[in-house]
Amino acid sequence: MKLYVYDHCPFCVRARMPFGLKGIDFQLEFFLNDDVDGPTALIGTKMVPILAKDDGTYMPESLDIVTFIDLNFGEPVLAPSANRPELTDWLANAALNPLTMPRWIQAPLAEFATAGGVAYFTEKKEESIGPFAEHLANSAELKEELNIKLVTLAAIIESPGAVNGTLSYDDILLFGHLRGITIIGGLEYPSTVRAYLDTLSEQSGVPLYGSMAID
């Protein structure tokens, strides 16, 4: 199987996770961010992730891919979501994009390997969150706000390997977004959050940004 992704994309991280969690071999392919024709040729629109299945068909939508892999390759490893309101609220109000998006385009990520890929992403995302330069200029304040939110998250995480104590779809959702903030240099991670990031990264095979982090 082949999985088409952008490296930075939280939804793509979701789709990558069950392969690592279950030890399933797959091929990872990256589209340039301004490549419209590539994904459109596969599923009729510019969207990732896309799973190229062994039967020659293509599957979009991250959670559909997660479910397909978990249910069809060995015993399922993911419990249903616990629908914890505190986790739902944290994910809804984390406001990570002003910190992550301006940094992703500065990192050596495959989808931003060309000036066209960077320009496409910047134009599209600045329409929704405002100028990247302004967010970078406000980094100190934004980081302080995120550090407070990470303290809140630490109280929600029940074990290093699972936010609810048992691996579930909530981990797919949380790690999918949380991995992206490791591109931000100078954050203060509570030990619980740091352990969760490290454990899920190792188990899922999705690396953190670590040395790529940008202040």
Token output for 17: 């996770």
| Rounded Cα–Cα distance for residues 172 and 162 (Å) | 10
Which amino acid type is present at position 25?
Answer: D
pTM across the whole model: 0.96
Place of tokens 């899920």: 200
| Per-residue pLDDT tens over the stretch 137-179 | 999 999 999 999 999 999 999 999 999 999 999 999 999 999 9
Is CATH 1.10.760.10 the classification given to domain 85-212?
no
| Per-residue pLDDT tens over the stretch 36-94 | 999 999 999 999 999 999 999 999 999 999 999 999 999 999 999 999 999 999 999 99
Which amino acid type is present at position 201?
Answer: S
- Looking at domain 2-72, its CATH superfamily turns out to be Glutaredoxin (3.40.30.10)
Same fold, 2-72 and 85-212: no
Burial of 68 (0-12, 13-18, 19+ CB in 10 A): middle
* Domain layout of the chain by residue ranges: 2-72, 85-212
